[in-house]
Structure 1
Amino acid sequence: MSIRKKFDLSAYFVVGPENTKGRSVAMIIKDVVEAGFTCIQIRSKVASARELIQLTREASEVIAQAGKSDEVVLLVDDRLDVILAAKQQGIKVDGIHVGQDDIPVEVCREYLGEDSIIGLSARTHDIFEYIKTVDVSQIDYFGVGPLHETMTKPDCGVDLDGKVITRSFEEISKIAQISPVPVVVGGGVKLIDIPQLAQTGVDGFFVVSAVSEADDPKQAAVDLVKTWKLYATVGCKDLIEKQVKL
């Protein structure tokens, strides 16, 4: 079965060399894969195409060595050229994530084929109308955010007036209800946000610095996955009871 038909967005890690405090990208990816993360995205605005291809190769190898090539999705942000070059070199990469101003989804689908995963950052302004009306025939999930302003990607959530719009849990719940495709939420997400976020009905969370800049990336990843699984499977009454116990 194509991974596109069974991929899991619940724990989604975005990383590039500028996010790791000088530590190995591959080693941190190894940590998060072992911790139970289900999706890895290679994203960098400073790395060259060759560097991105190498990072993609290392990430693919880490996932394979963990025996999770059929479970953990590997995506590259924006760079269709990098993905095509990686595939030509025999690197297993599962798809692309694009923003509104990146290469069009239709072009990505044409070049990557029907088995590849394509994620799209949902438009910041008029997001509710957009999600209800956009043609989703070529995309597999929406990335939504930010939950909080974040220095990792300062332009995340910038609207037409140049202001950053963050999303409340109430708004995120509404987005989850109306979206015709899975939704993953990020942008400044921390461990403390996971219980509420898991209750909104979205399909997962994405993080960068909460793991990549942590003193112990593996433990941070374990805590995020464990907390998501705990709260994504309980009802509101159970949630209150768990919070009281904590």
Structure 2
Amino acid sequence: MSNRKKFDISAYFVVGPENTKGRPVEQIIKEAIEAGFTCVQIRSKIATARELIQLTDQAAQVIAKAGKSQDVTLLVNDRLDVVLAAKSQGIKVDGIHVGQWDIPVDVCRKYLGQEAIIGLSARTNEIFDYIRTEDTSQIDYFGVGPLHETMTKPDCGLDRDGKVVTRSFEEISKLVKLSKIPVVVGGGVKLTDIAPLAQTGAAGFFVVSAVSEADNPKQAAAELVKAWRLNSVIL
């Protein structure tokens, strides 16, 4: 079975060195996957290409040591060069996440092949039309948000006027119904958001600081995963 048919984005962790309060990225990833997170995305705007390759390698090793290489998806944000370099070094990285105005999905698919997982975030002000009209045959999931304004990514959700547009649970439910592929939701997600978010029909939630900046990342991650599983079962 290919990665594209069995990946799990129900508990999705985005992390880079600028988000961990100085703690090692690989340690935070270890705690997150031990707590039940199913997807890890390496994202950094400050790390060099070599540093990103190293972070990807460290993440892959942590996942492998936990015996979860077949269960936890490892992605890199935006950097096709990093994914290709990592793969050439034998690092098990499963794919890439790009924005609507980043490297085109068809280019990512061409270089990464049909087995790779490709996620896409669409611009907030265009997302309803985009999800309704976009050819999703080369995309595996949509990233949607923000649920709340977030300092982790201050430009998340900006519309044409430079204002942040957040998404209500009602809007997310509509997006999920419109989308032909799974939708994962993030942007300032907190523990109290998990129950209503699960009830929208979204495939999962993504977080950064809720885990990476927590005093006890493993406990914070476990609480989020438990809340998602409890509320998803009800659906």
- Deviation, structure 1 residue 159: 1.0
Whole-angstrom CA distance in 2 between matches of 1:15 and 1:140: 20
**Structure 2: 5+ residue stretches without partners:** none
Whole-angstrom CA distance in 2 between matches of 1:23 and 1:188: 21
1:190-226 Cα offsets, whole Å, 9 max, x none, are 0010010011000000000000000000000000000
1:103-143 Cα offsets, whole Å, 9 max, x none, are 11010000000000000002211321221111111100000
Matched, 1:67 2:67: yes
Matched, 1:157 2:152: no
For 1:150-189, what aligned pairs fall within 5 Å after superposition? 150-189=150-189
Runs of 4+ in structure 1 over 4 Å off: none
Q: Which amino acid aligns with 2:174?
A: K
Q: Mean alpha-carbon deviation: is it higher for 126-135 or for 45-54?
A: 126-135
Q: Which amino acid aligns with 1:3?
A: N
Q: Which amino acid aligns with 1:101?
A: W
Q: Which amino acid aligns with 2:4?
A: R
For 1:136-151, what aligned pairs fall within 5 Å after superposition? 136-151=136-151
For 1:1-246, what aligned pairs fall within 5 Å after superposition? 1-235=1-235
Relative to the length of structure 1, the TM-score reads 0.94
Whole-angstrom CA distance in 1 between matches of 2:34 and 2:127: 35
Whole-angstrom CA distance in 2 between matches of 1:129 and 1:220: 35
Computed over aligned residues only, the root mean square deviation of the Cα atoms, in angstroms, reads: 0.7
Q: Aligned pairs, how many? A: 235
Whole-angstrom CA distance in 1 between matches of 2:211 and 2:18: 13
Q: Which amino acid aligns with 1:151?
A: M
1:150-209 Cα offsets, whole Å, 9 max, x none, are 000000001111111000000001111110000000000000100100110000000000
Whole-angstrom CA distance in 2 between matches of 1:161 and 1:107: 30
Q: Which amino acid aligns with 1:220?
A: A
Aligned to 2:224, what secondary structure does the other structure show?
helix
Whole-angstrom CA distance in 1 between matches of 2:47 and 2:72: 23
Aligned to 1:129, what secondary structure does the other structure show?
helix
Whole-angstrom CA distance in 1 between matches of 2:45 and 2:20: 14
Larger Rg, first or second structure (1 or 2): 1
- Deviation, structure 1 residue 2: 1.3
Whole-angstrom CA distance in 2 between matches of 1:127 and 1:89: 36
Whole-angstrom CA distance in 2 between matches of 1:122 and 1:99: 6
Whole-angstrom CA distance in 1 between matches of 2:127 and 2:36: 31
Q: Which amino acid aligns with 2:48?
A: S
Identical amino acids, percent of aligned pairs: 75
Whole-angstrom CA distance in 1 between matches of 2:3 and 2:115: 7
